[in-house]
Structure 1
Amino acid sequence: MDKRVEEILKILDINKELPFPDLFMVAITHSSYANENRVESYERLEFLGDALVGLVIAHNAFELFKDINEGELAKIKAVVGSEKVLAEVSKEIGLSKLVLVGKSLSSASAGELDSIYADTFESVMAAVFLNLGFDETEEMISRLLNEKILEVIEKKLFFDYKTALQEYTQSKFMNLPEYVLIEESGPPHRRNYVFEVRINGEVYGRGYGRSKKEAEQVAAKMAYKRLKE
């Protein structure tokens, strides 16, 4: 068994014989590395993992908080399943250190790498599912993400920077921020977006995200913090 696979299993506390351990190697292989070395990338696994992670987040939020409406549940799912949070968890548990990327990404930005780390989290959860089944996968995702769900409810993880920036620029500049799409990439099921936020024509922030809203929020956060400083 590859040492990287052994390390993944150690991180996830999996101590049993698996039918498809090689899937974990695929799960940490970015397309840039796969293309350079003619091996399989994690893209198919990430497609499955995205659905699994989203389902578990939605189910846990639904069960944990009986008194919140559909809109709030949707916000929890969007925030906890966002690139930012999944990348953060991937780094916290040490999974990000094992990702295989190609030479073309040797100078990749933090935003680009976070997208890869988030995708890897999802692809690894898909490998867990294909090896151990849904119940154990649900338990593992819950263990890794339920704290983040609670943080959203406690307002520690989510702040609406777009609204805050709009209010600030209206009072300070008598103008509204403009969000401009700079780049769009990735497979159809998992697009990545890059937005700039401009105020009176000047760029104040740039954000990466899996959705346009997420990328705009990241850009707004950078601009808001820059203006407040």
Structure 2
Amino acid sequence: MLETALTHRSYAYEHGTADYERFEFLGDSVLQRAVTMMLFERYPEDDEGSLAKRRAGLVSTVALASIARTLHLGDHLRLGRGEVMTRGAEKPSILADAVEALIGAAFLSLGSVEAEALVLRLVQPLVDDPASTGAITDPKTALQELAAQRGATPPVYVVEGEGPEHARIFTATVAVGELITSTGTGTSKKQAEVAAAWEAFRALHA
């Protein structure tokens, strides 16, 4: 089950095995439920809009990909040759999907209580840091504001693309004056910039 949860459809197609997409579908529901209940209980004064904004940040691709990187999940993914060539193990969308798949596998193997406990352990560091939770929703704006607070020049992004047109991977490098330089990858320029901004924000905010 763990193997399946780490198997991308590109690998499954090449090797005639199951992929993680069904687990991902289930894990997304478990993730949403666990985060919703946690926020509902943790923030009794928040209205629906505030709770929805917090949840959107915690279950976003940026947040889940960040969790995956913390777990070094990309090192364990089973990817097809094409995804390996285009650095699929670094793509935020694939990393986020894999986290959801692992949650789905946990639900099937251990039940809802343990699966939701896993979700809470994974998102806890972000929940405990309100600034990071807000920054996940818009990392580029958050980084710009943090740079201003530190008296640094605004973030400057440089994006490079590689690979064939139909499977292009972009790498963004963001520099905040002399404070920090971070990188991020994605399947679009915007996605790469957002990933780089989030990594820079986390490093500066730590």
TM range (shorter): 0.5 to 0.7
Aligned-pair identity (%): 31
Structure 1 residue runs of 4 or more that deviate by more than 3 Å after TM superposition: 109-112, 159-165
What does 1:158-173 correspond to in 2, within 5 Å?
A: 158-159=134-135, 160=138, 161=140
**Equivalent residue for 1:207, pick from 190, 202, 206:** 190
Q: Report the structure number with the largest CA radius of gyration.
A: 1
Task: Please report how far the alpha carbon of residue 162 of structure 1 lies from its aligned counterpart in structure 2 after TM superposition.
Answer: 6.2
Quick one: distance in 2 between partners of 1:110 and 1:27? 16
Question: Residues 32 and 66 of structure 1: is their aligned pair in 2 closer, same or farther, counting only changes over 3 Å?
Answer: same
Contact 1:32 1:105 in 2 (8 A): yes
Question: How far does residue 108 in structure 1 lie from its aligned partner after superposition?
Answer: 2.2
Q: CA deviation at 1:156?
A: 2.6
Tell me the TM-score normalised to structure 2 length: 0.65
Q: Which runs of 5+ in 2 are unaligned?
A: 145-165, 171-187, 202-206
Q: Which structure ranks higher in relative contact order (CA pairs < 8 Å, sequence separation ≥ 6)?
A: 2
SS at match of 1:39: coil
The counterpart of 2:105, out of the listed 124, 127, 131, is 127
Return the match for 2:79 from 83, 101, 106: 101
Structure 2 equivalent of residue 138 of structure 1 = 116
Cα distance between partner residues in 2 of 1:164 and 1:145: 21
Deviation at 1:218? 2.8
Q: Distance in 2 between matches of 1:45 and 1:146?
A: 22
Q: CA deviation at 1:163?
A: 9.8
Q: Are the aligned partners of 2:4 and 2:20 in contact in 1 as well (CA < 8 Å)? A: yes
Partner-residue secondary structure (3-state), 2:189: strand
User: Structure 1: where are the runs of 5+ without partners?
Assistant: 1-22, 166-184, 186-193, 195-204, 209-214
TM-score, normalisation: structure 1:
0.59
- The 1:164–1:157 alpha-carbon spacing in structure 2 relative to 1, beyond 3 Å, is same
Superposition deviation, residue 115 in structure 1: 1.1
Deviation at 1:106, TM superposition (A): 2.2
Name the SS of the counterpart of 1:106 in structure 2: helix
Conserved? CA contact 2:5–2:101, under 8 Å: yes
Aligned length: 155
How much has 1:69 moved relative to structure 2? 1.3
Displacement, 1:155?
A: 1.8
